[in-house]
């Protein structure tokens, strides 16, 4: 069954599991920061495309985190700072 789940969804849900104990907005912020720092652009683009299509496989917290992402936009100062992930 795990072969049926797209890698970007699986990795996104791993992040959700790591941060979901935090308050919702803080968790979304930490997930978005991790994605910005560590995911390659193709992965970020795929996540955003899935969100735009309304992919029902995505956890709502991952969708919320994706709202903080914009294609091609990365704040280099933010990337330098440590994050929770």
Cβ–Cβ under 8 Å, residues 65 and 44: no
For residues 13 and 78, give the distance between their C-alpha atoms in angstroms, rounded to a whole number.
23
18 part of a folded domain: yes
- Taking every pair of Cα atoms in the chain, the longest distance, rounded to a whole number of angstroms, is 39
Task: Examine residue 1 and state whether it is found in any structural domain, yes or no.
Answer: no
Nearest Cα to 43, choosing from 76, 3, 74, 83?
74
Range of 30's domain? 10-70
Let me know if residue 82 belongs to a domain.
no
Establish if 83 belongs to a structural domain.
Answer: no
Q: Is residue 33 part of a domain?
A: yes
Query: Residue 64 falls within a domain, yes or no?
Result: yes
The tally of domains found in the chain comes to 1
pLDDT tens digits along 54-78: 999 999 999 999 998 875 555 556 5
Given this model, what pLDDT does residue 82 score? 63
User: 25-41: per-residue pLDDT in tens?
Assistant: 999 999 999 999 999 99
Q: Residue length, the chain?
A: 85
* 77 occurs within a structural domain: no
Q: Are 78 and 33 in contact (CB under 8 A)?
A: yes
Does residue 4 lie within any of the structural domains? no
């Amino acid at each position: 069954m795990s072969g049926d789940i797209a890698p970007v969804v699986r990795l996104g849900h791993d992040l959700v599991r790591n941060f979901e104990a935090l308050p919702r907005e803080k968790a979304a912020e930490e997930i978005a920061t991790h994605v910005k720092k560590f995911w390659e652009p193709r992965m970020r683009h795929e996540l955003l495309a899935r969100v735009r299509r309304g992919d029902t496989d995505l956890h709502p917290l991952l969708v919320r985190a994706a709202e903080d992402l914009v294609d091609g936009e990365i704040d280099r100062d933010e990337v330098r700072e440590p994050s929770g992930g």
